[in-house]
Amino acid sequence: MLRIAMGDRKGRPYAGHLQYFFKEKTMAKVILNKQKRGWWKSAVFYQIYPKSFQDTNGDGIGDLRGVISRLDYLAELGIDGIWMSPVCQSPQVDNGYDISDYRAVDPMFGTMEDMETLIAEAKKRGISIILDLVLNHCSDQHIWFKEAITGKDNPYHDYFIWRDGDGVTPPNDMRATFGGSAWTYVPQLGQWYFHQFAVEQPDLNWDNPMVRRELYSTIRFWVQKGVEGFRLDVIDQIGKDADKGITNNGPRLHEFLRELSREAFQEEGLATVGEAWGADVERAKLYSAPDGSELSMVFQFQHIGLDQQPGKDKWDTRPLPLVQLKEVYRSWQQGLHNVGWNSLFMNNHDLPRIVSRWGNDSEEFRVVSAKMLATMLHGMEGTPYIYQGEELGMTNIKLPIEAYADIEIHNMYNERAAKGYTKEEVMESIWARGRDNARTPMQWNAGENAGFTTGKPWLPVNPNHTGINAEAALSDPDSVFHYYQKLIELRKTLEVFRDGEFTLLLPKDEKIFAYTRDTKKGHLLVVCNFTAETLPYEVPETFRNSRLLIHNYKTTAPGLRPYEAAMLYYEEQF
């Protein structure tokens, strides 16, 4: 453990630190004033992928009543908002990110009444519902598209992006994210339509003011229902120029975002987060400007791309370059301090499980490395997002190709097989990077199907649920769950987590991620060993008499043990 003085300023013994600290500042649940802009700066959000969270009617698919049944668990964790992946009506080509009716709950998830109950029950527990809205594209089963393909003069035709053509050569060589051309031909129209994702996900034409008006009205519909925020799917693509091959960061992007904010996000307290794979720090200052002219924050992905081989696809992995990861976080932490706001995440429904990706999911190191990663992230400035199961240290899974559900996995499998990749190479990539790693059912207990369903789960449950599950975690004071619970409490209790200025320590060290956060009053040190080695380490002089806020080992020892992490804190005595 870190070599720190064996006592605090009043000479209290080291061992008493944690109890002392928590005893002195009992952690009453801090209720945030959600009418005020910026409440999210002391909040922690939790992402639910409803299809995989909790089934209550035995069809093997998670549903809204399942989420309602687990609200007490989430309140126990201490989170303040739930980002719900889409539950609107959808043919499920892309698991709900292909919406066919923005104002209806898909029957597989339940009813609008269930949604209203969820919103009300969550609010009773101090939890806001942040709804995932997919405004860049809709489903080809949406009435707008069904109308649009009936004729060029149909009023809905211009809701989409069409180009005349011969059906042989697409308008340009833009590729769809899920493989193939981004253009599909409709013979009866003699035209191609643009789809950045699946063929069944036609992009909406944001240059058409009617489209924007329809979408703003959809948002107001959900605000009236009591939704207190939105996650905006691939929002950096709404300004695209399909003729010039520009998908994200298009010329009108921020014009549209400012209009979206004015027309649909009037309430100061609405928490809005945009998914922006193409964001950099400068652009994020526009997205998250403190005046609320656009959004509250964005999900940027510069850290997420670091462990893939430069210039290749996400399937072509390489070991995480920790020095580069630290630099990306430094640039975002310092770049947005006082001029914008960060989201903080390592997991979501599109990403492999972080303990398997950047930690170590072996029996020996899974828990300690999951806690280390959480320490690294939750000490920073920004709003942390916990993805369902991350708080349990859930891991990736290795399935046979036929067991997978994700359109992206199957398209990649077929494309790479056709290019001559061996089955082993392709499966290794899928096991490391496939989105279904995050979508296996939530592990509630050691019983059948991990307590997720009494039916046949739509995607296999990870067999390791017998040891990794919420029931076991709740009864274990040293579980990853209770570690996250403490981190969440700390964020609400010490201003340094919200306001502290970030300074990266040891920038060139390839094994230790250490940084400080400083305000006039409070000083925080976060130290993380990213390796399975024991490393020499000395706490900076100024922290020699600090308090231990949280630590993923039960004892102290010189240096840093494998995946050891801690937060140290002291306050200026004025």
Q: Which does 517 bind (CB under 5 to 8 A by kind): ligand TEU, Ca ion, none?
A: none
Q: Which amino acid is at 544?
A: R
Smallest distance, ligand TEU to C-beta of residue 275, A:
6
Q: Is 97 in the site for ligand TEU (CB under 6 A)?
A: yes
Element (H, E) at 336: helix 322-336
By C-beta, is 277 or 413 nearer to ligand TEU? 277
Residue 408 binds to ligand TEU (criterion: CB under 6 A): yes
**Chosen residue from 192, 206, 265, 277 binding ligand TEU by CB under 6 A:** 277
Residues 6+ apart with CB under 8 A from 464: 395, 443
Q: Which is nearer to Ca ion, 458 or 530 (CB)?
A: 458
Q: Which helix (H) or strand (E) holds 163?
A: strand 162-164
Q: Which whole-number Å values give the CA distances from 62 to 104, 226, 454, in the listed order? A: 17, 22, 11
Report how far residue 238's alpha carbon sits from residue 251's, in angstroms, rounded to the nearest whole number: 10
Q: If binding is defined by CB under 6 A, does position 68 make contact with ligand TEU?
A: no
59-98: which residues touch Ca ion (CB under 5 A)?
A: 59, 61, 63
Which of ligand TEU, Ca ion, none does 177 bind, CB closer than 5 to 8 A by kind?
ligand TEU
Amino acid symbol at 21? F
For Ca ion, the binding residue among 42, 50, 55, 250 (CB under 5 A) is 55
| Site for ligand TEU contains 314 (CB under 6 A) | yes
Q: Is 406 in the site for ligand TEU (CB under 6 A)?
A: no
Binding partner at 55 among Ca ion, ligand TEU, none, C-beta below 5 to 8 Å by kind: Ca ion
The answer to the question of residue 111 lying near Ca ion (CB under 5 A) is no
For residue 506, give every residue at least 6 positions away whose Cβ sits within 8 Å of its Cβ, in sequence order, or none.
Answer: 512, 514
Question: Scanning residues 164 to 183, which ones bind ligand TEU (CB under 6 A)?
Answer: 177
132 is catalytic: no
Tokens representing 151 are: 């004729």
Where do we find the tokens 């940084």? 515
Six-digit token string for 400: 């046979």
8 Å CB contact between 563 and 365: yes
List 8, 80, 132, 233, catalytic entry:
233
Amino acid at 346: M
492 touches which of Ca ion, ligand TEU, none (CB within 5 to 8 A by kind)? Answer: none
Q: Does 57 bind Ca ion (CB under 5 A)?
A: yes
Q: Does 114 bind Ca ion (CB under 5 A)?
A: no
Q: Any alpha helices (H) in 477-565, and if so which ranges?
A: 480-493, 496-499
Cα 307 from Cα 204, distance rounded (Å): 32
Among 55, 80, 94, 236, binds ligand TEU (CB under 6 A): 94
Q: Which does 59 bind (CB under 5 to 8 A by kind): ligand TEU, Ca ion, none?
A: Ca ion
Cα–Cα distance measured from residue 118 to residue 105, given in angstroms and rounded to the nearest whole number: 12
* Shortest CB 178 distance to ligand TEU, Å: 8
Rounded Cα–Cα distance for residues 560 and 536 (Å) = 6
63, interface contact from Ca ion, ligand TEU, none, CB < 5-8 Å by kind: Ca ion
φ and ψ at residue 385, rounded to 5 degrees: -120, 125
Smallest distance from Ca ion to CB 117, Å: 15
Among 67, 234, 235, 496, which residue interacts with ligand TEU (rule: CB under 6 A)?
234
- Pair of tokens at residue 412: 């990649």
Comparing every residue's Cβ against Ca ion, the nearest one is 63
What minimum distance in Å lies between the beta carbon of 314 and ligand TEU? 5
Q: How far is the CB of 551 from ligand TEU (least distance, A)?
A: 34
Give which of Ca ion, ligand TEU, none residue 197 binds (C-beta under 5 to 8 Å, depending on kind): ligand TEU
Taking CB under 6 A as the criterion, the residue among 283, 416, 435, 491 binding ligand TEU is 435
Nearest CA among 271, 323, 312 for reference residue 292: 271
Give the closest residue to 85 by CA, choosing from 124, 46, 123.
46
233 noted as active-site residue: yes
567 touches 525 (CB < 8 A): yes
């094994």: which residue's tokens? 511
From 236, 275, 307, 489, active-site residue: 275
Q: Which residues bind Ca ion (CB under 5 A)?
A: 55, 57, 59, 61, 63
Enumerate the active-site residues.
233, 275
